[in-house]
């Protein structure tokens, strides 16, 4: 009986622990970009950041510089701005990556970052108040929005997160962004909403597929895992259990 359990634990835990995550790679890229831009100029200067590819609504609308919707995501105004985003991104991004898989996670991150900047453009066109903006916070709030949906799908708990704690954290982060001068709270709110909606499109079908393919995702005991392993072995079915963790 122990043979089946040991084989399952090896395929579900060890690869995850040893794997270099996409989140960490992306964070490293953002840090490198920051170091290079800081070396070339002042990342606290709006004009310099504009030249580096930060978001500027008039150029996007009038000159068709749509690349700024994405390039701005990877730029940051100073070390404090970078550190605040990277810290949250590291902890929350790795959880979402494990839940969704690398490709789906990457798509959601990019799209929510673009949605945050697109919402910023619409808001600035409405108010007539334009500013150079940059940062990954829209995409990071997209991660939070996606995690909200995932926690709800898992009946209020996922890994070490609970729905109450996550809601409190999201609400506090939105409030701080709204009250702090120079923070693009529109991108935060748009990223959060778009992340939740995109997760509904990306994650829910994935969760249903996992349930159909593997008989549901639940907290299996050692006995349950051994029983399922032996049943499939007798039937000649070769199940890769690691796919339940990272689809």
Which of the residues are catalytic?
137, 188
78-89 burial by CB neighbour count: b if 16+ within 10 A, else e? eeebbeebbebb
**Inter-residue contact 81 to 163 (CB < 8 Å):** no
Query: H or E stretch including 15?
Result: helix 14-18
The three-class DSSP label of residue 158 is: strand
User: Cα(26)–Cα(102) distance, rounded to whole angstroms?
Assistant: 11
**Inter-residue contact 100 to 206 (CB < 8 Å):** yes
The three-class DSSP label of residue 136 is: coil
């Amino acid at each position: 009986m122990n043979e089946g359990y040991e084989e399952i634990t090896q395929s579900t835990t060890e690869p995850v622990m040893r794997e270099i995550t996409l989140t960490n790679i992306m964070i490293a890229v953002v840090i490198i970009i920051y170091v290079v831009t800081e070396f070339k100029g002042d990342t606290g200067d709006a004009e310099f950041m504009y030249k580096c590819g930060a978001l500027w609504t008039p150029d996007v609308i009038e000159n068709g510089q749509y690349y700024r919707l994405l390039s701005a995501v990877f730029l940051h105004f100073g070390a404090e701005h970078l550190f605040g985003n990277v810290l949250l991104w590291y902890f929350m991004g790795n959880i979402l990556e494990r839940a969704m898989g690398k490709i789906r996670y990457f798509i959601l991150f990019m799209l929510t970052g673009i949605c945050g900047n697109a919402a910023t453009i619409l808001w600035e066109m409405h108010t007539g108040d334009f500013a150079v903006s940059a940062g990954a916070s829209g995409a990071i709030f997209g991660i939070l929005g996606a995690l909200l949906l995932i926690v709800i799908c898992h009946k209020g708990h996922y890994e070490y997160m609970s729905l109450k704690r996550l809601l409190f954290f999201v609400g506090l982060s939105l409030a701080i962004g709204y009250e702090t001068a120079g923070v693009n709270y529109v991108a935060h709110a748009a990223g959060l909403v778009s992340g939740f909606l995109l997760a509904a499109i990306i994650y829910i079908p994935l969760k249903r597929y996992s349930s159909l393919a593997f008989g549901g995702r639940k907290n299996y005991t050692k006995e349950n895992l051994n029983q399922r392993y032996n049943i499939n072995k007798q039937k000649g079915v070769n199940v890769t259990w690691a796919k339940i963790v990272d689809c």
